[in-house]
Amino acid sequence: MKITDRSGEELESLHEVIETLKSVKGKNKIALIGNGGSAAIASHYAQDFTKCAGLRTINFNDPALLTMLGNDFAFEDIFAKAVEMYTDPNDVLIAISSSGNSQNILNAVIAARNKGLKTITLSGFNTDNKLRLLGDVNMHVPASTYGIVESAHFVLLHSILDHVTNS
């Protein structure tokens, strides 16, 4: 796994992610997004960051919200529109995409950055995927199968949760 900032400079640890998440406590919120298996991971950790770490956390994977946004706007903009409607500057967006090339995830990260959110990305597969350098902090798993990438994302988020909860 490789952790980088937006310029591609490698970070030594998860410290910046942990501090970013701890900084929202009592002030702002965390929003999580993902498609398919990554949506399940986003949903799981939205609950855990709320229950275990006491952070205000939401995920934008509610079926009614997604179908409304997809119908009224476009599938590529479902998460960007949710970011525009439900987040505030200095909130944190965690964007999860195994391939790192899902347009709706990419558009959401761009919308979040434009709105002044801190952005954390988790991606996998190719090192040249579009999401890998789009966030303020980017975690990339260089594996070529969904199971490995999704499992690594799950473990990474759990490790981050444990550090945020216990510090």
Report pLDDT for 133. Answer: 95
Report pLDDT for 58. Answer: 97
Report pLDDT for 35. Answer: 96
Q: How far apart are CA 65 and CA 78, in angstroms?
A: 8
Classify 68 as helix, strand or coil.
Answer: helix
Which of the residues in the chain have pLDDT under 70? Answer: none
Q: How far apart are CA 95 and CA 167, in angstroms?
A: 24
Whether the full predicted model's pTM is greater than 0.85, yes or no, is: yes
- Domain range holding 18? 2-165
Whether the Cβ atoms of residue 132 and residue 138 lie closer than 8 Å to each other: yes
Whether the Cβ atoms of residue 78 and residue 70 lie closer than 8 Å to each other: yes
Identify the CATH number of the domain in which residue 60 sits: 3.40.50.10490
